Structure formats: structure tokens, C-alpha cells
Amino acid sequence: MTTTGPNGAGTGGTSNYAFGTTHWTNTANITAADTTYSAVVLSTDNSHYLYASNFGFAIDAGDTILGIQMEVRVKGSVDLRAADGSVLAVKAGSSVGTDKATNTGIGTADAYVSYGGAADLWGTTWTAAQVNASNFGLRYSVYDLGGGVTVSCDYVRCTITHSAGTTTKAFRRSLLGVGV
């Protein structure tokens, strides 16, 4: 078993305007952990999806994907006044699998919130080509728990857990002169 990452999102944007009512601003700011934020101002509503993609993976084609962990570095302007409302994996540009939102309040200090894990496939199957693709990613929405709040997202990163495929194992053995 191998872990690759965490890799940061190479692209940030807003997607699926059919969900939520409020736009995120400065969405390109989620590509570096530098306290330069994308933000959404909420007052008793849901945000549109913040879309993180283009993680730059280069997993070997024959490898088996075992798990995907996404981490969002986020904070709120008022302690526990907002929560994640929807957290979806994106395969080939479309939302797939199980929504990982926990509806847990967001604190005022920058903190990584983790979704998925080393053995979590988000309710679907994945190939190396799919997680390597520039349109693999995460859709993240938040909602106001009452009273108004600004939610700021600094960074989105992803870690892939995978096992070497038979082609990769045979190639490695041949390089080592083992079992040839």
C-alpha cells in the first residue's frame, strides 16, 4: 500500500449554481496554504459549491485506488455559526458517490477538516486515470446556522491511498532482477 500526497488543488472555482444561493469569491485562492482566502458571506442560506480540482496526481495506470482523503482548511468569522452542508467527490467533472458532510460547526481558527480516508472510496470506484485527471476534485458547500457568518477557505488538499498493480510490480521486479 502506498500513500501519495497530500497534493494541493491546482484550480479553484465555483460550480453548480443550482445548489445554494451565495457565490464564493476569489476561488483561485484555495490553491496555496498561505492565508489568502476564498470567502462566502452567508445570512441564513447555503453557499454554491466551491470546486477544487487539478491535484496533479500521477498514480501508475495499473494501481488500485484504495482510498481518498480530502482536507479543507477553513474558518468562520463567528465560532460555530456555519457548518459544511455538502461535500462531494468529483469524477470526470461530475459529483459522484456519498456526500461526506458532517454538519459540524466551523471554528474561528484555520483548521483542516478531513473527509474520507485511506480506505474510503466515497461510495464509488476509482481508477488511477480518474484521480490523475484535471477534472477530479471536490465540491464543498457550507451553510449558515443562524445570524450571519463569513466562511473563509484557505486551501484544499488530497491524499490518495493505492496499491501497486501487477504491471507495476512486474516492472519493479525486473528492475531489481528479482523473479525474472
Grid-cell match 472555482, residue found: 13
Residues 86-99 pLDDT 10s = 999 999 999 999 99
Question: What pLDDT shows up at residue 176?
Answer: 59
Question: What pLDDT shows up at residue 178?
Answer: 52
Question: What pLDDT shows up at residue 134?
Answer: 97
Residues 35-56 pLDDT 10s = 999 999 999 889 999 999 999 9
- 67's enclosing H/E stretch is strand 64-76
Question: What pLDDT shows up at residue 180?
Answer: 43
Query: Mean pLDDT score of the chain, rounded to an integer?
Result: 91
Q: What is the mean pLDDT of residues 103-126?
A: 97
Residue 179: pLDDT above 60?
Answer: no
Question: What pLDDT shows up at residue 45?
Answer: 87
Residues 115-168 pLDDT 10s = 999 999 999 999 999 999 999 999 999 999 988 999 999 999 999 999 998 654
Grid-cell match 476564498, residue found: 38
Which carries the bigger pLDDT value, residue 133 or residue 179?
133
Residue 173: pLDDT above 50?
Answer: no
Buried b / exposed e across 145-160, counting CB within 10 Å, b at 16+? Answer: beeebbbbbbbbbbbb
- Check: CB of residue 125 under 8 Å from CB of residue 76: no
